[in-house]
Structure 1
Amino acid sequence: MPDSGPLGTSPPERRPTSPTALPDTLASAPDRQITPTARHFLAALHPPVPISGLPTPPAPTAASAVPATADAAAGGSALQRILRGPTGPGTSSLSSASRDTATLPDAVPPAPAEPAAGQAVPGLYYHPVPEPDPVRVEEVSRRIKAWAEDEVQLYPEEWEGQFDGFSVGRYMVACHPDAPTVDHLMLATRLMVAENAVDDCYCEDHGGSPVGLGGRLLLAHTALDHFHTTAEYTPAWQESLTSDAPRRAYRSAMDYFVRAATDSQADRYRHDMARLHMGYLAEAAWAQTEHVPEVWEYLAMRQFNNFRPCPTITDTVGGYELPADLHARPDMQRVIALAGNATTIVNDLYSYTKELNSPGRHLNLPVVIAEREQLCERDAYLKAVEVHNELQLAFEAAAADLAEACPLPPVLRFLKGVAAWVDGNHDWHRTNTYRYSLPDFW
C-alpha cells in the first residue's frame, strides 16, 4: 500500500467528518402533485446557469412518428416532442418566475450559448453545470498523469494523447463540486482511470476481447476484493497484481480509496464493481454468440455495465458517509440505479458516432432499437433520446420522493451529490469533442 499520495500529498484522513446541514426541501418531477416539501428540490440540486436554445425541428416525416407519451401534445413526431425541450424539474430554476408556484414551465426559453465547446444532443433533457474550477481541473490533471505514468505505468508513450484527450480532470471536478480538497477528488479520479483501463485493455479498444474475459476480470477484481488463501499461494497472487496495467491501476487506486473511506463505503464500492464486471461479461457473451438482445435485455445489461460505481462514492469524495442502512434502503437503491442508467444512456448517445466508426459491431441503445424495432438509424437514435429523458425524469422523481420520506442531512447531501454527478457526467460528454461527435440527424 502506498505511503503517500502522488507527488508526496497525503490522502484524506480515514473516517470522514459529519456532513453539513443542507436545505430540507427537494423538488419533484412533472406529472405528479408537487408537495410543499418537494417543491424546491431542483432549486437546491441545480443552480440556474445558462442553457442554449434548441434548434427548430424540421418538418415531421412518417418515419419519425411514434405514439405520443402521456404528457405530450397529441400527434407530432418523436423529433418534434424531443426538440421542444425539457419540461421537467430544473426548468423552473431557469425561469425568473417564483419557485413557490407548483406549475413548471413547458419549455426552456431561449438563453445564451453554453460556456464551453461542444453541442448537446438536441432534445436531451439535462441540467447544465457551471464551468469546473480551472485551478482544480489543472491540478487534478497534473496529479493523475503523474500517478498514471510514475506509480502504475498505465500506458505506453504512444497512448499519451488519448490519455490527455480523456480530460479526466475536468470530468471529476465537474462531477464532484462538493469535494473539500483535491486529495478527495483524486480518490474518484484514480478509480475512474483504473476502471477505464480495465474496459479498454480487457474489453475493447486496446487489445480487449470477449474471449477469456471472465478469467481476466476475476483476477483483476482480486485487486479490489483481496484474495485470502494459504501462505504458500499468497506470494503468487500478490505478484500477479503488478502483471498488467489494469491490475496495477486497480490495486493502487483501491489502496488510496480504502485509506480514506470507511469499511462500509469500501465494501459498497467492491459490490458495485462486481455488478460492473457482471455487465461486462453479459455484453461479452452476446458478442461471442453474435446475439442482439431485446431492448429491455440490453437495458438490463446496462443497469450493471454502467457508471454506478462512480456516483455511489460521492459521499467518500465529499468527505462524509451515508450510513449503510440508509444506502441499503430500496428507495435509495432505486435512485442510484436510475442515476446509473440515465448517465449510461448519455454515453450511448454521445459515443454513437465513435462506435459506428470503430472496427467490429458495438452494441448501444440506438443500434439495438434499430434492429429489434425495425427503425431507421435516425428514428432509433431519437427514440433512445426519449428513453434517456424518461429515465432522467424517473431518477429525479425518485430522489424527490426519498428526500420527502427520509429528510435526514446525509440523505439530502448524498442525493445532491448523485444529481451533481449525473449533471457533470453529461457536461463532460458534451464538451469532450476529442472523443465524441454527434450524428447528423437534425
Structure 2
Amino acid sequence: MSLISRATAPAAGHDVAELVRGLLSAGAAASPHPPSAAKASRGPRLPSAPTGLGTSAARIGLGPGASRDLSARTGSAAVPVNAPSLPLPSPSPPSPSRATAHPSAPVLPPGPTGQGTSAARLSTAVRPRTESAPADPHRELHCPPAVRDDPALGETVTERLVEWAEEIGIYPGQLDKIRKADFGRLIMLAHPESDDPDRLLAAAKCALSEWAVDDHYVDGEVERARHDLLGQRLAIAHSVIDQAHLPLSYAPRLEEVVRADPVMRALRDSLDNLAGYATTTQVRRLRHELAIMFVAYNQEGVWHTAGQRPPVWEFLMHRHENSFVPCMVLVDAVAGYEVPMAEFSDPRVRRAFTMAGSASVIVNDLYSMGKEDPTDFSLPRLIAVEDECSLEEAVDRTVEIHNELMHTFEAEAAVLAAAGSPELRRFLAGTWAWLGGSREWHAGSARYHSAADAV
C-alpha cells in the first residue's frame, strides 16, 4: 500500500484504528512554536542530551585510538560532547570555519555496544511471544514535535505540485488524491529551515516522482501492476536516474521508451529541477538512494509473484532500503548548505541516518493500520502473524521497535554532532526536525473516522 493510497484510503472505525490514532496524536501538537510561527530562523535543534534507551552511546570517552575520532577522519575539529544545546544557524550557508578542538571529544565505536544497542538485533527487540502480554494503551511514539507550521506555505507547494503532476502526466485522473494528501504540507513541515516555495517544491517533485514509481509499477494504484515486468521497468527507470549512454544508433530507442513513460519523465524532470538548487554531489546522493529504493521494490515484486509473506527480520531490512531516506537526504540541499561528503558517507553517520529513515517509515506503517488494509505488507500485521498475537499487541511491539530506533538515533546523532563539523551538526538536527514534521503530517492527515475527527 503506497503512501498516497494510505493518505487517501477510506476511513476505518475499529479498535486498532483508534489505538493508532491516539499514538499519532499524542504529543504531535505539542510543538514549542505556535502555528503562527511560520519562520524557522532559529532552525531545528537536537535535544541538549539524549534521553531514554540507548543513551550510553553519548557517554563514550576518547580512548587510546584518538585517530578514530570523526573529526580526524573528516578534517574538522571537534566540540565538547556536553554542549548545552545544538542550535542551528540561520538558513544562510554556514561559514567554512570550524569549532575549536577539544581534547576529550567523544568517539563512536565501530559497532554498537552497551545499553540500547539491540537496534542491531531488531528481530528480537520485541518482548518474547506470550499470550498474556497485553498491548500498552499508554505507550507513545518517541518523536519530536514539528518545528514550524505554515499552512499557507504548505498549500502553495501542494497546488504547484498538483500542477506539475498534471503537466508531467503522473496520476492521471487522480490529481485530487495528491491535493487531498497535502504533500506540500509534509514538505513544509519536514524542512523548517526554508520558507522558499521554489526550494520546497523542488523537494516535493522529487518525493512525488519517487512515490509514483511505487503507485504506477508496484502497487497498481494508477495502472495495472505487472510484477513479472517490474525488474525490467525499474532497470529502464534506473537508466534515467543514472543516465545510460548508448551508442548513437541505439540511444533514440531508449529515449523513446523514457519519453513515453510518465514516471520516467517525472524522475528526469524532478532531478533536473533539483540541480538548480542543489550541488552535483547532493543530486548524486539522491540518485544513489533511489537506486537502493529500486532494489527494495524488486524485493517486494518477488513477494507478490511468489506469494511470499516476508518474515519480520526481512521486512525490517526492506524498510532500511524502502524508507523516507530519499526524501530526508535533501535536508541540507533545501536549507541551502552542504554537509561534507566525507562526513555524510562515514559509516557511523550512515547508520544513524538510516535508522532515522527506518523509524520514519514505521510511523507510516502504523498510519496504514488505521486505514485498515488487511492485504498490505506492514510491520504490525507481519508481527501479528509471526508472533501469533493480537493486532493491538502487534501495534505495541511496533512502537517498541520505532522507539528503539529513535532513541538510538538521538544518542548517536548527539555524539556525531559534537565530534563533527558545523554542517554535520546542522544536518543531524535537520534530520531530527524532519522526523518531527513527518509525524505531525501523519497525525494531521489521518482521518480514521471523519474529517471532523482529524487531529
Q: TM-score range by the shorter chain?
A: 0.7 to 0.9
The residue type equivalent to 1:376 in the other structure is S
- Residue 81 of structure 2 is aligned with which of 37, 58, 69? 37
**Aligned match of 1:374:** 388
Asked if structure 2 preserves the Cα contact closer than 8 Å seen for 1:210 and 1:287, the reply is yes
Asked if the contact 2:344/2:350 (under 8 Å) is kept, the reply is: yes
CA contact (8 A) 2:159 2:179 kept: no
> Which residue number in structure 2 is paired with residue 219 of structure 1?
236
- 1:400 corresponding residue in structure 2: 414
1:411 pairs, out of 424, 434, 442, with 424
How far has the Cα of 1:180 moved from its partner? Answer: 5.1
Summarize deviations over 1:95-124 as a string: whole Å, max 9, x none: xxxxxxxxxxxxxxxxxxxxxxxxxxxx22
**Post-superposition, which runs of at least 4 consecutive aligned residues in structure 1 deviate over 6 A?**
19-25, 42-45
Question: Residue 25 and residue 409 in structure 1: after superposition, are their counterparts in 2 closer, same or farther (change >3 A)?
Answer: farther
Partner of 2:10: none
- Which amino acid in the other structure matches residue 273 of structure 1? L
Using structure 1 for the length normalisation, give the TM-score.
0.72
Matched residue, 2:149:
132
State the Cα distance separating 1:355 from its structure 2 match.
5.2
Letter in 1 for 2:404: E
Higher alpha-carbon deviation: 126-135 or 208-217: 126-135
Report the equivalent of 2:172: 156
Aligned to 1:383: 397
Alignment of 1:143-182 (within 5 A): 143-150=160-167, 152-157=168-173, 159-179=174-194, 181-182=196-197
- Contact kept, 8 Å, 2:88 with 2:426, in 1: the verdict is no
Matched to 1:315, the amino acid is D
User: What amino acid is the match of 2:431?
Assistant: V
Verify the 8 A CA contact 2:45 2:86 in the aligned structure 1.
no
**How far apart in 2 are the matches of 1:263 and 1:416?**
23
**Structure 2 residue runs without a partner (length 5+):** 1-40, 60-79, 90-125, 451-455
Task: Establish whether residue 79 from structure 1 lines up as the match of residue 135 from structure 2.
Answer: yes
- Which letter maps to 2:203? A
Tell me, in whole angstroms, the C-alpha distance in 1 between the residues paired with 2:441 and 2:426.
22
Aligned CA distance change for structure 1 residues 316 and 343 (closer, same or farther; 3 Å): same
How far 1:311 moved relative to its partner?
Answer: 0.7
> What amino acid sits opposite 1:283 in the alignment?
E
Shift of 1:255: 0.7
Counterpart AA for 1:251 = R
Aligned partner of 2:49 in structure 1 is 27
Cα distance in 2, alignment partners of residues 42 and 381 from structure 1:
33
Q: How many angstroms apart in 1 are the aligned matches of 2:403 and 2:45? A: 26
Q: Identify which of structures 1 and 2 has the higher relative contact order when contacts are C-alpha pairs closer than 8 Å and 6+ apart.
A: 2
- Cα pair 1:370 1:376 within 8 Å, conserved: yes
Equivalent pairs counted in the alignment come to 347
Q: Which residue of 2 aligns with 1:3?
A: none
> What is the deviation of 1:78?
5.5
When the two chains are superposed, the root-mean-square deviation of aligned CA atoms in Å is: 2.8
Structure 1 residue 30, shift from structure 2 partner = 2.5
Query: How many angstroms apart in 1 are the aligned matches of 2:251 and 2:445?
Result: 42
- For 2:48 and 2:278, the matched residues in 1 are separated by 27
Deviation at 1:341, TM superposition (A): 0.5
Q: CA deviation at 1:165?
A: 1.2
427-436 or 345-354, which deviates more: 427-436
Could you tell me how far apart the structure 1 residues matched to 2:210 and 2:44 are?
32
Shift of 1:25: 8.6
Compare 390-399 and 206-215 and name the one that shifted more: 206-215
2:296 alignment partner in structure 1: 279
The answer to whether 1:193 aligns with 2:215 is no
Partner of 1:362: 376
In structure 1, what residue type is equivalent to 2:441? W
Query: C-alpha offsets along residues 65-105 of structure 1, whole Å, 9 cap, x if unaligned?
Result: x859xxxxxxx95633x61x5xxxxxxxxxxxxxxxxxxxx
CA distance in 2: counterparts of 1:415 and 1:325, whole angstroms: 15
Per-residue CA deviations over 1:391-420 (Å, capped at 9, x if unaligned) read: 1111111111211222x2101110111111
Query: Match of 2:77?
Result: none
Q: C-alpha separation between the residues in 2 aligned to 1:184 and 1:436?
A: 35
CA distance in structure 2 between the aligned counterparts of 1:208 and 1:355, rounded to whole angstroms: 21
Task: Decide whether aligned partners of structure 1 residues 23 and 164 sit closer, same or farther in structure 2, where only a CA change above 3 A counts.
Answer: closer
Counterpart of 1:433, as a letter, is A
- Give the partner amino acid of 1:324: M
Q: 1:417 to 1:43 in 2, by over 3 A?
A: closer
The answer to whether the 8 A contact 1:187-1:257 is kept is yes
Q: Is the 8 A contact 1:211 1:288 kept in 2?
A: yes
Q: Secondary structure at the match of 1:29?
A: coil
CA distance, structure 1, for counterparts of residue 269 and residue 417 of structure 2: 35
Tell me, yes or no, if the aligned pair for 1:345 and 1:365 is still in contact at 8 Å. yes
Distance 2:372 2:299 in 1: 19
Q: Mind listing any 5+ residue stretches in structure 1 that lack a counterpart?
A: 1-18, 46-65, 69-75, 86-122, 438-442
Tell me which moved more, 28-37 or 275-284. 28-37
- The residue aligned with 2:334 is 317
Q: Which amino acid aligns with 1:195?
A: E
Contact 2:147 2:433 in 1 (8 A): no
Note if 1:422 corresponds to 2:435.
yes
**Structure 2 CA distance for partners of 1:129 and 1:180, relative to 1, 3 Å:** closer
Superposed displacement of residue 20, structure 1: 10
Q: Which deviations, in whole Å up to 9, do the C-alpha atoms of 1:211-255 show, x marking residues without a partner?
A: 211111111122211111111111222222221221111111011
Normalised TM-score (structure 2): 0.70
The letter for the 2-side match of 1:190 is K
Instruction: Name the stretch that deviates more: 159-168 or 233-242.
Output: 233-242
Question: Cα offset for 1:147?
Answer: 1.2
> Do the aligned residues in 2 keep the contact of 1:27 with 1:43 (CA within 8 Å)?
no
Secondary structure of the residue that 2:241 maps to in structure 1?
coil
Following TM superposition, by how much is the alpha carbon of 1:22 offset from its aligned partner in structure 2, in angstroms?
Answer: 9.2
